[in-house]
Structure 1
Amino acid sequence: MKNLLLLVFLSSLILSCNSTKSGVFLTKKNVLVFTKTNGFRHASIEPGVTALKEIASENHWAVQHSEDSLIFNSENLKNFDLIVFLSTTGDILGEEQQVAFQNYMETGGKFFGIHAASDTEYDWPWYGKFIGGYFLSHPETQKARIKKIENHKTVKAFPESFERVDEWYNFKNLNPNVHVTLTLDESSYKGGKNGEYHPHAWFHKVGEGEMYYTGGGHTDESYTEPQFRQHLEDVMKWLISYSNQ
């Protein structure tokens, strides 16, 4: 009987260890994907949400997709390990929601802004500095060359220099303190307005929190494009695992 009980205990222990390694018993991370628009609405939002949900499922993360700004209160936000603004536009948060979001970020929150997240909250000075640069204009969708500034974890999917098709944002009020990971080569396409140094993706600390912004993601095809999709996943992984590294 003792041998049988010992066998059952050892079997349970092995199963527990294997399950933990596979992530079954690990604490699930929670991601908020926010897509509210109060201006132009990108058709690629829906493919983007699908891609982010698929990435989350592959990594055993839980995703909540919302366009309700009232979700931005201190009680709700403390439950999220990462907040994603996917092509949000215009004024999307009221004053109370702004306070809650700012507090979330400055006390250790994680944020990922994609494409039109920079076309958001123009009348909120904190957000302008936080997002790293406001959308100014863009030429027609076309192929452009992108340069990788360093071998950061978030851009490991890309070679040192590469081309892809997207809508290329020009920016105003660029924050000089952001850490740039990708730049656009304006000589490779028509309509660039930022000059020889044209930031395209970047990150920086916000109080105790961390944010990342990437300019790609206008087209539907972006979200099935292997390298760009891997970029999204790598950014999310980096932010979720970030702890003052």
Structure 2
Amino acid sequence: MKLLYLLPMLFLTACSSQAPKAILSEATATETFIDEPVTSTGRYFAYVPSPSILIFSETRDWRHEEGIAGANLAIMKAAKEMGHGYFTTEHSGIFNEKDLARFDVIVFNNMTGDALTPEQELAFAKWQSKGKGTVLLHGAGDDSHQDWSFYHNELLGATFVSHPMAPQFQPARVEILQPTHPVMAGMPKDFMAIDEWYTFDAPPSDDFIVLAGLDESTYSPVNTVYGDRSDLRMGPKPVDHPIIWSRCIGDMQARVVFNAMGHRYESYETEETLLLLKNMLNWAAKKTDPQSQGCAK
């Protein structure tokens, strides 16, 4: 009887002692992804068609949980409409030549911090140089990416300063500055949105095309809670405070578009944000604007 009584306890103990090993094994596999990709076994990619959209949201700094979830679902729906597959991950090991070849668009969905190794950064740069498309959402434009100079300077092009905290989320008027650009197709000339409004030290350089800006008179661009700068105004006109911009890079015209909106999942329930997201994905994938007119200044 005592032996029968002890058997369930021994079984539970054995399971408990094995659990950490299983977790460690999985973590180790993702850490060594570059040398021997888990995807090469077909474990993850058996069902992913090509072309597809890679939705990457690893966070090594602030995590925008709601924005990541809202954008993931919205991108999945948009991908289906485009006839594309999609794959979501927070494991940077996917940034290797073999696996990236499956994708024609990569979305950095609120990625923060030093998420990629130098080898992975080079793999991404090589992938993008083939004329691929990149979409950056909200936290992917904060100040935690400056260690990766290519990303910070060539893809993003501006340095985040702060955002309001009094209150953090506010309604503000967004004005479309390039209504003929494919990313702005079907958009109204302006619209109201509630978000965490980013301020940058300066607009991006002339290599970028500013597509939309903020009307600072419609919200309170102030942060008295943290940081050295409380006055977050960039200028009296929407063009002075860019919030969405794009760029085409290299001979292959690789397309990049950044939208600083998207902190909350509610953002992806609005008509304007959903249309913007679809337009960004289609333009980045070169399903629209075949003559690359949106690349011209």
Partners of 1:78 and 1:104 within 8 A in 2 = yes
Partner of residue 123, structure 2: 100
Q: Does 1:86 align with 2:109?
A: yes
After TM superposition, the runs of 4+ consecutive aligned structure 1 residues lying more than 3 A away are none
Question: Which of 187, 194, 199 is residue 217 of structure 2 equivalent to?
Answer: 187
Give me the whole-angstrom Cα distance separating, in 2, the residues matched to 1:128 and 1:59. Answer: 29
Give me the whole-angstrom Cα distance separating, in 2, the residues matched to 1:173 and 1:146. Answer: 18
Find the structure with the greater CA-based Rg: 2
Partner of residue 170, structure 1: 199
Q: Which runs of 5+ in 2 are unaligned?
A: 1-48, 222-231, 293-297
Q: Does 1:43 align with 2:43?
A: no
Question: Which of 56, 67, 74 is residue 34 of structure 1 equivalent to?
Answer: 56
Q: Which runs of 5+ in 1 are unaligned?
A: 1-26
With over 3 angstroms needed to count, the CA separation of the structure-2 counterparts of 1:194 and 1:173, relative to structure 1, is closer
Aligned length: 219
Partners of 1:157 and 1:227 within 8 A in 2 = no
Q: Which amino acid aligns with 2:233?
A: K
Q: Which amino acid aligns with 1:167?
A: E
Partner of residue 24, structure 1: none
Give me the whole-angstrom Cα distance separating, in 2, the residues matched to 1:128 and 1:117. Answer: 10
What is the SS of the residue equivalent to 1:133?
coil
Which shows bigger deviation, 123-132 or 172-181? Answer: 172-181
Question: Which of 182, 185, 189 is residue 160 of structure 1 equivalent to?
Answer: 189
Q: How does 1:1-245 map to 2 (within 5 A)?
A: 29-44=51-66, 45-119=68-142, 120-129=144-153, 130-139=155-164, 140-151=168-179, 152-172=181-201, 174-176=203-205, 177-191=207-221, 192-196=232-236, 197-207=240-250, 208=252, 209-241=254-286, 243=290, 245=292
How many percent of aligned residue pairs carry the same amino acid?
32
Q: Which amino acid aligns with 2:83?
A: H
Give me the whole-angstrom Cα distance separating, in 2, the residues matched to 1:101 and 1:91. Answer: 14
Partner of residue 9, structure 1: none
After superposition, the CA RMSD in angstroms is: 1.7
What is the SS of the residue equivalent to 1:76?
helix
Residue deviations 1:25-54 (CA, integer Å, cap 9, x gap): xx9531000010011111221121111111
Q: Which amino acid aligns with 2:77?
A: E
Q: Which amino acid aligns with 1:158?
A: M
TM-score, normalising length: structure 2 = 0.70
Give me the whole-angstrom Cα distance separating, in 1, the residues matched to 2:79 and 2:201. Answer: 32
Give me the whole-angstrom Cα distance separating, in 1, the residues matched to 2:246 and 2:138. Answer: 14
What is the SS of the residue equivalent to 1:88?
coil
With over 3 angstroms needed to count, the CA separation of the structure-2 counterparts of 1:106 and 1:244, relative to structure 1, is farther
Give me the whole-angstrom Cα distance separating, in 2, the residues matched to 1:41 and 1:95. Answer: 22
What is the SS of the residue equivalent to 1:180?
strand
Give me the whole-angstrom Cα distance separating, in 1, the residues matched to 2:188 and 2:52. Answer: 31
Residue deviations 1:5-43 (CA, integer Å, cap 9, x gap): xxxxxxxxxxxxxxxxxxxxxx95310000100111112
Partners of 2:172 and 2:192 within 8 A in 1 = yes
Partners of 1:154 and 1:231 within 8 A in 2 = yes
Give me the whole-angstrom Cα distance separating, in 2, the residues matched to 1:75 and 1:243. Answer: 26
Displacement after TM superposition at 1:243 (Å): 5.0
